[in-house]
Amino acid sequence: MLDQTETNLPSLLDDPSLLQTKAYVNGEWITGADGEFEVTNPARGDVIARVANLSRAQVAGAIDGAYLAQKAWAAKTAKERSQILRKWFDLIMANQKDLGTILTAEMGKPLTEAMGEIAYGASFIEFYAEEAKRIYGETIPGHAPDKRIMVMKQPIGVAASITPWNFPNAMITRKCAPALAAGCSFVGRPASETPLSALAICVLAERAGIPAGVLNMVPSASSSEVGKEFCSNPKVRKLTFTGSTGVGRILLAQAADQVMKCSMELGGNAPFIVFDDADLDAAVQGAIMCKFRNNGQTCVCANRIYVQAGVYDEFAAKLKEAVSKMKVGDGLEEGTDLGPLITSKAIRKVQEHLADAKEKGAEIILGGAEQLQGPGNFLRPTIVTGATREMQFATDETFGPLAPLFKFEDVDEVIELANDTIFGLASYFYAKDLSRVYKVAEALEYGIVGVNTGIISTEVAPFGGVKQSGLGREGSHHGIEDYLEMKYVCLSV
Ligand SMILES: NC(=O)c1ccc[n+]([C@@H]2O[C@H](COP(=O)([O-])OP(=O)(O)OC[C@H]3O[C@@H](n4cnc5c(N)ncnc54)[C@H](O)[C@@H]3O)[C@@H](O)[C@H]2O)c1
Ligand SMILES: O=C[C@H](O)CS(=O)(=O)O
């Protein structure tokens, strides 16, 4: 039974000053013109903070300040920007446990996962602190005897960011790190469910010496008003969004008026394929990591698990055995494997997908979608067999602890099934035959393919989707390009 006491978050922190509830704008901590909004702990349902609710006018003010601050920030040498970003990385890692505790309290993921996210998010700052010094231009042989051609790369200007609740630290640093490294300034609007993690890293950014106005965080209860300001304000030259494909479409349409450069990290529906020559034990562990990380609330979670007929029953039995040992509970409690879902709405979506599957013939071999007793948004992990393409989870992202097992006969059939979606973010398969590995990796229509692994997250690789899973890439040396403009200089000599 969960502890019924309320979450006393400041008492859990070594440095309670990291728990900020004001907005960070132009180097000042400000209150919201529209009052405050509540942040709740999804494991206990209690209010853990009341955060500044900024008005659209205040967001416009943050953009004005970012516009003014950007020029001086870009005028610093790459090494100066690099050193400040490195200091920020060091401060984040020195406060990893407190930042993880804040993240677990507002989002629910187990503390071990939250601390892992803090390290993952910080890795982007570490990586782009170095990339700042490697933004190279080029010279091109002239097209006439008196012509010399030079190509230079310059920061695009003010970058505006909107991010989701499921990775409240890393989805922001994956954007602001390359932006600041490139010499841009940044105005971020975190998800209203999880603003505390975003504000906490601003406390550390200030301590690291990031100048006023370069990094701004504008929490608000209303997301659409902030989005409209970001998309219509001519001082914003870059919009970077992570979230659902539906909201991505809205923002792309809104940004069209300004012909704004957009990065979109959107929804997914990842296939996880187990061939009959796979290492089944490795595939089971990979499926657990891929499906149940963050309790299934990641854009790259396995949404459909395809198992070749010859190993289907053995895989299902092994997976059921392993998942049955997973502990559901409060993320702040030792030994928790699966925390709460973010909201009751998220629970209902999982329940709808399960009910639809049962109605169409699926069989539950583990769990079920009844909510656990207690104040939190807790569901048991569930596995179903007999999944078919007619079921809702074959086309829609479940975003929860529901693992549907589909059976397939041959490689051509499973490639067609895997690619039959509007999404194209992550995909995974387990196989040993080298020819099969090459052909399947080439045939999958996804931005990311995990081969014999269920975890692909790293700052050194280009993360992003094709089709309606997004535009652009985050991470790797590619990730900084979206914050740069290329200028061609033609010199007559
Ligand atoms: N591709 C990726 O890297 C990635 C990473 C994490 C999550 N996601 C996707 O995000 C979704 C889950 O997150 P979510 O539920 O927060 O998504 P969401 O799209 O509902 O919300 C994302 C963010 O956009 C804001 N928002 C919502 N409507 C808006 C509007 N009209 N204008 C401006 N902002 C608006 C929200 O408040 C939130 O901050 C899933 O589809 C998941 O796949 C993708
Ligand atoms: O939910 C989406 C995240 O991008 C997942 S990952 O941690 O970056 O793989």
Cβ–ligand 2 contact at 161 (below 6 Å): no
Atom from ligand 1 closest to the CA of residue 251: 32
CB atoms within 10 A of CB 476: 18
List Cα–Cα distances, 94 to 114, 115, 119, 200, in angstroms: 15, 12, 10, 13
Cβ–ligand 1 contact at 165 (below 6 Å): yes
pLDDT higher than 60, residue 399 = yes
Q: Ligand 2 pocket check: which of 266, 300, 425 to mutate, most ligand atoms within 8 Å of Cβ?
A: 300
Contact predicate 213/69, CB 8 Å: yes
209-227 per-position pLDDT tens digit: 999 999 999 999 989 999 9
458-469 per-position pLDDT tens digit: 999 999 999 999
Between the CA of 163 and the centroid of ligand 1 the distance, in Å, is 6
- Percent of residues, the chain, with pLDDT higher than 90: 97
In this prediction, residues 430-441 reach a mean pLDDT of 98
Q: Ligand 1 pocket check: which of 244, 254, 466 to mutate, most ligand atoms within 8 Å of Cβ?
A: 244
Atom from ligand 1 closest to the CA of residue 174: 3
How far is residue 139's CA from residue 151's CA, in Å, rounded to a whole number? Answer: 6
Which pLDDT does position 172 carry in this prediction?
98
Q: Is ipTM > 0.90 here?
A: yes
Which pLDDT does position 424 carry in this prediction?
98
Which pLDDT does position 47 carry in this prediction?
96
Which pLDDT does position 5 carry in this prediction?
64
Atom from ligand 1 closest to the CA of residue 250: 31
How far is residue 441's CA from residue 447's CA, in Å, rounded to a whole number? Answer: 11
Cβ–ligand 1 contact at 117 (below 6 Å): no
Cβ–ligand 1 contact at 247 (below 6 Å): yes
Atom from ligand 2 closest to the CA of residue 171: 4
334-353 per-position pLDDT tens digit: 999 999 999 999 999 999 99
Taking CA atoms only, the protein residue closest to ligand 2 atom 9 is 457
Tokens representing 44 are: 């206990």
Between the CA of 81 and the centroid of ligand 2 the distance, in Å, is 26
How far is residue 182's CA from residue 160's CA, in Å, rounded to a whole number? Answer: 14
Ligand in closest contact with the CA of 397: 1
Helix H, strand E, coil C: the string for the chain is CCCCCCCCHHHHCCCHHHCCCCEEECCEEECCCCCEEEEECCCCCCEEEEEECCCHHHHHHHHHHHHHHHHHHHHCCHHHHHHHHHHHHHHHHHCHHHHHHHHHHHHCCCHHHHHHHHHHHHHHHHHHHHHHHHCCCEEECCCCCCEEEEEEEEECCEEEEECCCCCCCHHHHHHHHHHHHHCCEEEEECCCCCCHHHHHHHHHHHHHCCCCCCEEECCCCCHHHHHHHHHHCCCEEEEEEECCHHHHHHHHHHHHHHCCEEEEECCCCEEEEECCCCCHHHHHHHHHHHHHHHHHCCCCCEEEEEEEHHHHHHHHHHHHHHHCCCCECCCCCCCCCECCCCCHHHHHHHHHHHHHHHHCCCEEEECCCCECCCCCCCECCEEEEEECCCCHHHCCCCCCCEEEEEEECCHHHHHHHHHCCCCCCEEEEECCCHHHHHHHHHHCCCCEEEECCCCCCCCCCCECCCHHHEECCECCHHHHHHHEEEEEEEEEC
Catalytic residues: 265
Cβ–ligand 2 contact at 162 (below 6 Å): no
Which pLDDT does position 52 carry in this prediction?
98
Tokens representing 181 are: 């490294």
How far is residue 162's CA from residue 250's CA, in Å, rounded to a whole number? Answer: 13
Which pLDDT does position 2 carry in this prediction?
39
CB atoms within 10 A of CB 329: 22
Between the CA of 351 and the centroid of ligand 1 the distance, in Å, is 21
Which pLDDT does position 109 carry in this prediction?
98
